[in-house]
Amino acid sequence: MQPIKFRTIEEAKTLEVPKTSRKVIEKAQSAVDFVLNGNASRLIKVKAIFEAADDIIAEISPLSVCKKGCNYCCHIDVLITEIEAKYIEKNTGKVVRLNGVNNKVHGKPRTPCTLLGADGACSIYSYRPLVCRAFLTFDSPTYCQESSIEHVTYDSRGHPNLKNLGEVLIHLNNASGFKDIREYFPLDV
């Protein structure tokens, strides 16, 4: 594994996010068109959204300091759509509880996502929701530990095509809303 880079917040602010390649933009546009007009199941469309988002992030992530096993961002609120929860269930066998509330973890800071593995890595990595795919840190994991520090992160709001993919995901969700991932997948207590 490559060593984790550390930058100060000031250094990270000077970074220039690379321009997304034409090929990747076209794939994202095709995915949006497929979601809106294609003849396929909603879960196949979720996969197309994720694949297009991954290609965008792959061109930006060389700037990030995120590495497997670093999981501070898995300890904050993780809002996902119901259709993403169903996508996780379909592909991993983890049972989604559409009416689940786990008061033991929900709403309390610094409680890990219930899908975080004992090894510190995401146990459903290939099927993780959009918010997890599109979140990067550009300075240092040290700052991620401190929720009170404003530091240099990246998420889907920073890229027009990622934003579009997020919007069609919401469209696909049929107004079912968002919940914290810990409610869809509560700990067995």
- Which of 35, 52, 57, 132 binds ligand SF4 (CB under 6 A)? It is 132
Closer residue to ligand SF4 (CB): 118 or 175: 118
With CB under 6 A, what is the number of residues at the site for ligand SF4? Answer: 11
Torsions phi, psi for 28 (to 5 deg) = -65, -40
116 sits near ligand SF4 (criterion: CB under 6 A): yes
DSSP string, 101-138: --TTTTT-TTPPPTTB-TTSSBTTGGG--HHHHT-EES
Closest CA to 179 of 92, 90, 105: 105
* Binding region for ligand SF4 (CB under 6 A) out of 35-43, 110-118, 155-163, 168-176: 110-118
* 86 touches ligand SF4 by CB under 6 A: no
Q: What CA dihedral angle connects 48, 51, 56 and 62, to 10 degrees?
A: 170
Residue closest to 116 by CA, chosen among 164, 181, 42, 177: 181
Binding mask 4-43 toward ligand SF4 (x if CB under 6 A, else -) reads ----------------------------------------
Point out which residues bind ligand SF4 (CB under 6 A). Answer: 71, 74, 78, 113, 115-116, 122, 124, 128, 132, 181
